Amino acid sequence: MIENERNARCEHVLHVARQIMTAARTAPKARGMDVVEIALVTGDEKEQLSQRMEEMGSQNQMKFFLRDADNVRQAEAVILIGTRDVQRPRALNCGYCGFPNCASKPENVPCTFSSLDVGIAIGSACAMATDLRVDTRVMYSVGSAAQKMELLKDCGCVLALLLSVSSKSPFFDRKWPK
């Protein structure tokens, strides 16, 4: 039997994406509280995500959303990482949110550790992608569109990790839309 890599690429990327999601899941979390949610987006939902980004980019005159929507289309898969209970304090009374302690933090102000948890999970996911030789790009814009579409239910601070396996990463030398 002869198997051409091009024919196995899609299946391989999905396998790799699941390993990357595992790396994000096992990343350390503040106070051991697991409020991180992770999802894999492919197929029709990936195209819908790209279209939503184009809408947001046009409505808000943010050209980088249009450029990034193109990258979503070029990616084989998108991993979303966000946190539930963004405002819920972790009871560390650290003051990182800008208030003296958790009790004085207004309800609508996110706990800094929500952002840190997402960042650590993204870092762990990117490290795994590097180990598995998959091209990636972390994108706020994609996470923002995913949040508007509620692809991760009740999550804030959503970031996206785009995955690609090709001879040249589509995430470099990106062209700006006209």
Domain ranges of the chain: 5-164
Q: Which amino acid is at 29?
A: K
Q: What are the start-end ranges of the E strands in the chain?
A: 36-41, 77-84, 135-139, 155-164
Dist CA 37 CA 121 (whole Å): 10
Q: pTM for the whole thing?
A: 0.92
**Residues 76 and 163: beta-carbon distance below 8 Å:** yes
pLDDT in tens, 95-132: 999 999 999 999 889 899 999 999 999 999 999 999 99
What is the fold, at CATH topology level, of the domain defined by 5-164? NADH Oxidase (3.40.109)
Residue 176 structure tokens: 């700006």
pLDDT in tens, 88-97: 888 889 999 9
